[in-house]
Amino acid sequence: MIDNLGSNGPMTPASIDPAFYSYAFNPQFTGLEYDLLVTFQQSAGADGMRLVPDLALSIPTPGNGGTTYSFRLRPGIRYSDGQPLRAGDFRRGFERLFRVGSIGASLYTGIIGATGCVSHPRGCNLSQGIITDDAVGTVAFRLTAPDPDFLFKLTESAYSAPVPPGTPDREAGSRTVPGTGPYKIVAVSDTEIVRNPYFHEWSHAAQPAGYPDSIVWQAVPTAQAAVTAIEQGRADWFFGQVPIAPYQQLQLTDPAQLHSNPTFAVEFVPLNTNLPPFNDVRVRQALNYAIDRAEIAELYGGPSEATPTCQPIVPGMPGYVSYCPYTLHPGSSGAWSTPDLARARQLVAESGTFGERIEVWGEPDEGFVPPTAAPYVAGVLRSLGYRVQLHMVPFATVTQAMRTHFQLSVDGDWLAPYPDPSSYLPQFFGCGGGNGNGFYCNPGLDREMQRAMQLESSDPRESRALWASIDRQLTDDAVWVPTVTLREIDLTSRRLGNYQYNPVWGFLADQSWVR
C-alpha cells in the first residue's frame, strides 16, 4: 500500500469525478482508473514523452485537411463495474463536460456542434462532431478547423475519458464514475484505490498493470507532518513541497529518499511591450542582463529546486537549444553564468529612460512564485536608475483589466500541460493569446508558430527547427525575463522500491512497490 500525503493543509481532492478532477497528474490518481484514446507512454526518461495509443488501436493521421481524427477501439475492454466499453461512451463523456460545466470543455470547443453546447449546455448534442459506431468500435472527431494539438488535448487530465450509460449529468459526489484502468476508487475520504477485477493489460506502454494491491491517499495538516509520517514508515510518498530544514537534513542522512527531477515549468517576469519604458527593447534587454538568476534560484530553494534560464522553451521540449545572450561573456554552451550590470546600465543610458517611473506588481499569496521575488526585481530596477513603486496585492484582486495596465508583474509561472512548445507559446506570445494579457503582438511570429504546429506531425524535424528559431526570436526581443526552470522533489520512504519518474506525468505510483 502506498500512502500519499498533501503539503499545504488537507488535500483530499475536491472531486473524484473525471470531468472535474484536476489535482495530481494522471498516473498518480485519475490515470489509475480512467483510460483515454491516446496517452503518453507510462515509462521514465525520454520514452515517457512519446504519444501512444491507449483505448485506441493506433494513432490516426488527421484527414480532411486536418479536421478529422478517426479511431478504432481495442476489443474486449470493460469498466470496473463490468459494463463493456462502447464507442458511444466517448461522445457521452464529451457532451457531459459541457452539461456539467467542466473546465475541460474549453479544450474541445473546436468540435463541430460545440458552439451550441457552450450556448446551451443542458441540451448539448455533439452527434455531428463525434461520429460513433458501437458495432465496429469506431470514434471519429470532426473539427471546424484544423487543430494540430488535438491529440495532445485528448491527453489532458481525464476529461476525454469515456463514461458508461447511467452516468449522471452532475458531479458524482462520493460515487465513482466507473473507469477501465487497472484500479478503481472505492473511498473518497482518505481516498483508497484498489484493483479493477475486469482489467487486463492490453498495452504495457499505455497502461501497464500495477504492482500495489491498493493505493491510499491521506491528507495531513502540514508538510512537516507528511515528512514525519514517511520517516516513521506510515507513508511512502509525499505529494508536495518538502520543507527546507528536513530537506537539508535528508540530503545528509538519507539522500536516496529524495528524488529531484526536471519539469516542464518555467518561471518568468512578463513585460508589457506596449507601455514605456518596456516598449523599448533596450530596456527589456537591460533587465534581462541585470537579473541575477542564481539569486532567483535561491529564492525557490536552491539548485535542487530551480535552474537559471534565459529563454521561454524549457529543456527537454522539442525545439529547445540552450541559448542565453543575457550573461557576462556568453559562451557556446548557451548557459547563464552571472549578470552583466555594465551592459544593462549602458542599454538604459542609450534608451534615454533613466529616472522614469516603473510600477512593479507582485502577489504575496500567488502560491508558486516566492513573495520575495517581486521586491528583488524592484531592487534591480532601482539599481538601473528607475523610480520604482512596489505593489504587493492578493492574487484574487489582480483582474484582467488591471493586468492590461501593468508595466510588469512578478507572477509569471507556467507548467506546460503537454511536452510541446505549442502548449503555451501561442497562448503567451500570440496576438490573440489568452494568457498574454495583450502585452505583445507580432503577426509574423504568429504565422511562424502556426507553421511550426502544422509541421509537428508531417515533418517533426523541421517543426523543431522552427520552434528553436521562434524561441531565439522571443529571447532576443526580450518579451519576458525568464528566470528559472523548476525541478520536482519527491520524498519516498526507505521501503519503497522501483521508483520511476515520467517527464510528463511525474511519479508513476502504480509502478513502485513496498518491500
Provide the strand spans (E) within 33-88: 38-40, 51-53, 68-72
Written as nine digits, the cell of 361 is 506588481
Please give the sequence-ordered ranges of beta strands (E in DSSP) within 303-411, or none if there are none.
306-308, 357-362, 387-392, 408-409
Per-residue pLDDT band for 375 (boundaries 50, 70, 90) equals: very high
Q: Is residue 103 part of a domain?
A: yes
Residues 19, 42: one domain?
yes
Return the DSSP state at 322: -
Are 137 and 63 in a shared domain?
Answer: yes
Write the CATH number for 33.
3.40.190.10
460/500 same-domain check: no
Claim to verify: residue 481 and residue 501 sit in the same structural domain:
no
- The continuous run of DSSP H or E covering 119 comes out as helix 114-119
Position 6 scores a pLDDT of 43
215-234 as b/e, with b when 16 or more CB fall inside 10 Å?
bbbbbbeebebbbebbbeee
Residue at grid coordinates 525557490: 300
Arithmetic mean of pLDDT over the chain? 92
Domain-located, residue 237 = no
CATH of the domain at 368: 3.10.105.10
Q: What is the mean pLDDT of residues 160-170?
A: 95
In a domain, 123, yes or no: yes
Q: Is residue 199 part of a domain?
A: yes
Q: Kindly state whether residues 278 and 370 are assigned to the same domain.
A: yes
456 domain-assigned: yes
Domain that holds residue 423: 262-487
Q: Is residue 235 part of a domain?
A: no
Number of domains observed in the structure of the chain: 2
- Residues 493, 257: Cα–Cα separation, whole Å: 6
Of 19, 180, 33, nearest to 103 by C-alpha is 19
Close Cβ partners of 268 (under 8 Å, ≥ 6 residues apart)? 312, 412, 413, 414, 480, 481, 482, 483
Q: Specify whether 184 is located in the same domain as 317.
A: no
pLDDT for the residue numbered 455: 93
Could you read off the pLDDT of 428-443 as tens digits, one per residue?
Answer: 999 988 899 999 999 9
Same domain, 405 and 433: yes
Are 313 and 411 in the same domain?
yes
Question: Are residues 269 and 201 part of one domain?
Answer: no
In a domain, 463, yes or no: yes
Instruction: Please determine, for residue 469, whether its predicted confidence score (pLDDT) is greater than 50.
Output: yes
pTM of the model: 0.89
Q: pLDDT-based confidence at 189, cuts 50/70/90?
A: low
Task: Verify that 212 and 316 share a domain, yes or no.
Answer: no
- One domain for residues 174 and 293: no
